[in-house]
Amino acid sequence: MKKILVTGGCGFIGSNYIHHVFKNDNDTHIINLDKMTYAGNIHNLEGLPNSFHTFVEGDICDSGLLKTLFETHQFDSVVHFAAESHVDRSIDGPLEFIETNVVGTLKLLEQSRAYYNESNPNDFRFLHVSTDEVYGSLGESGKFLETTSYDPSSPYSASKAGSDHLVRAWHRTFGLPTLITNCSNNYGSYQFPEKLIPLMIINCLHGKPLPVYGKGENIRDWLYVRDHCDAIHTVLEKGKVGDTYNIGGNNEIMNIDVVKTICSLLNTISPKEDGSQYEDLISYVTDRPGHDFRYAIDATKIKRELGWEPKESFDSGIQKTIQWYLDNSSWWRAIQDKSYQQERLGVIE
C-alpha cells in the first residue's frame, strides 16, 4: 500500500484531493498533516475510514514532527498543499504567508531530502501545488506558459513564487525528485467563504450586498476543484521529475460575469421570497491594491504529455457548486458562527 503525506489536507483543495484519491485509488493510505488554521476544517473529511486516512494536527514548520512522521510512515510521496492562500489576508498580514509558504516549504523539502538520501525509496516524489498568480498579470491577450517569467504582485503570490523557486533548487542542487503544478482559480465544495464564489453564494442567501472590486472586469480562468485534483494525481503518477505543469480550466470569465451567473442560477434554484432579483444586491467597491487584471493558463503541456484535460465546463461546475452550498448550509453556517462573517479584508487605509 502506498503512503502519501498530504499537507494542508483539511483545507479546500487538499480535502477535495483526499476525497478524489479515496474514490479512485484503493491502494493508498493518506497521512494528512494540517495546522488547523482558520481555513482548516476536519469536517471536510467526514466519512473517510481510518484504514485510508490518518489525521495529524501539526505545523509544517515543526522539523521534529516532520522527522517523526517520515520515520514512522516511510512515505512514497509528498503532496504539498499547506499554504496561506488568500490575497486580501496577505495584504493585512504578510508575515504569516512568508512563515508558512516559504519557511514551511523549506522545512518540508529538507526533511524530504534527508529521508530520500537515507532510505532511497523507489519512485519517491515531492509534488508542490502552486498557483498561476506567481506569473503576475496578463494584458488582454496571451496565456501563462510553464516558461513564463515570474512577476508576483501580492505578498501571497510572492511567497508562493519563493516556495516554487526553493522546490526547483532542491531538485537541481540536491537531486530531490520534485514536481510543481501551477493552477488557475479553483472553485467547488469545501471552499472557505472568503473567496469570491462561495462569498457571493452565501451573501445572496443572506440577502447581503455582493461586493465586486472595481468594475468587476478582472478576468480569471476558472477550474473546478475536482478537475484540479484529478490533474494533481495524474502529475504525481505520470509527471516527469523536475518538470512544471500548468493546470487550467479553459474558462476565462470576468468577475462580474461570474457574480451575475451565480445570481441568475440562484434566481431559478432558490428564488427570493419577495420576488426581487439577486443581481440587485451587487455593489461596486474600491479595488484591491495590486489587483492583477487577467490570469489565463495554457494547459497544452499536461494535455499533450499526460493526457489530462478538465471534464467540467464553468456552466456545469458552477451549478454543482451552488447546489453543494445549498445542500450543506450547516457546513458554512458553522464557519460564520466561529470565524468569518463575510467581512472585507485587505483594505489599506
Tens digits of residue pLDDT in 222-279: 999 999 999 999 999 999 999 999 999 999 999 999 999 999 999 999 999 999 999 9
Residues 6 or more apart whose Cβ sits within 8 Å of residue 14: 6, 7, 8, 32, 34, 81, 82
Global confidence as pTM = 0.94
In a domain, 11, yes or no: yes
Across 306-335, average pLDDT: 97
204, 210 contact by CB (below 8 A)? yes
- pLDDT category at 289 given cuts 50, 70, 90 is confident
CA dihedral 298, 303, 305, 307 (to 10 degrees): 170
Q: Give me the pLDDT at residue 342, please.
A: 56
Mean pLDDT computed over every residue of the chain: 94
Give the structural domain span for 159: 2-188+223-249+291-311
Report the distance separating Cα 83 and Cα 98, nearest Å.
10
Number of domains in the chain: 1
Give the model's confidence band at 340: pLDDT under 50 very low, under 70 low, under 90 confident, else very high.
low
Give residue 290's pLDDT band: very low, low, confident or very high (50, 70, 90). confident
**Whether residue 21 has pLDDT greater than 60:** yes
> One of 115, 156, 190, 278 is an active-site residue; which one?
156
To the nearest whole percent, how much of the chain has pLDDT over 70?
A: 97
What CATH number does residue 19 fall under?
Answer: 3.40.50.720
pLDDT of residue 89: 87
Q: Sheet harboring 28-34: ordered strands across?
A: 53-57, 28-34, 2-7, 77-80, 125-131, 178-183, 244-247
| pLDDT per position as a tens digit, 78-89 | 999 999 988 888
Assigned C-alpha cell, 177? 525528485
Query: Three-state DSSP class for 221?
Result: strand
In the residue annotation, 156 being an active-site residue is answered as yes
Calculate Rg over the CA atoms of the chain: 20
Please, what is the Cα angle at 235 between 232 and 236, to 5 degrees?
85
Do the bridges between strand 178-183 and strand 210-213 make them parallel or antiparallel, or are there none, so unpaired? Answer: unpaired
216 part of a folded domain: no
Query: What pLDDT sits at residue 336?
Result: 85
> Which SS3 state, helix, strand or coil, does residue 68 take?
helix
- The residue type at 143: K
Residue 145: CA count within 13 A, CB half-sphere: 6
Cα–Cα distance for residue pair 79/21, rounded to 1 Å: 12
> Does some domain include residue 347?
no
Classify 115 as helix, strand or coil.
helix
**How many other β-carbons are positioned within 10 Å of the β-carbon of residue 11?**
25
Quick check: 130 pLDDT over 60?
yes
In-domain check, residue 121: yes
Split at pLDDT 50, 70, 90, the class of 140 is confident
More confident residue, 26 or 206: 206
Closest Cα partner for 16 from 289, 204, 240, 228? 228
Q: How many Å apart are CA 91 and CA 194, to the nearest integer?
A: 14
Catalytic residue (choose from 133, 221, 227, 252): 133
Q: For residue 310, is pLDDT > 60? A: yes
The per-residue pLDDT for 287 is 80
SS3 44: helix
In a domain, 204, yes or no: no
Does 349 have pLDDT greater than 50? no
pLDDT (0 to 100) of residue 88: 84
CA 85 to chain centre: 7
pLDDT, position 347: 45
Residue 335 lies in a domain: no
Q: What is the pLDDT of residues 71-119, one digit of tens each?
A: 999 999 999 999 998 888 899 999 999 999 999 999 999 999 999 999 9
Q: According to the model, what pLDDT value does residue 10 have?
A: 98
Q: Is the model's pLDDT at 337 over the cut of 90?
A: no
- Cα distances from 337 to residues 164, 240, 343, in angstroms, run 35, 45, 13
Element (H, E) at 49: none
pLDDT at 343 over 70: no
What's the confidence (pLDDT) of residue 308? 98
Contacts of residue 46, Cβ cutoff 8 Å, sequence gap at least 6: none
85 within a domain of the structure (yes/no):
yes
Q: Does residue 155 fall inside a structural domain?
A: yes
> Is 133 tagged catalytic?
yes
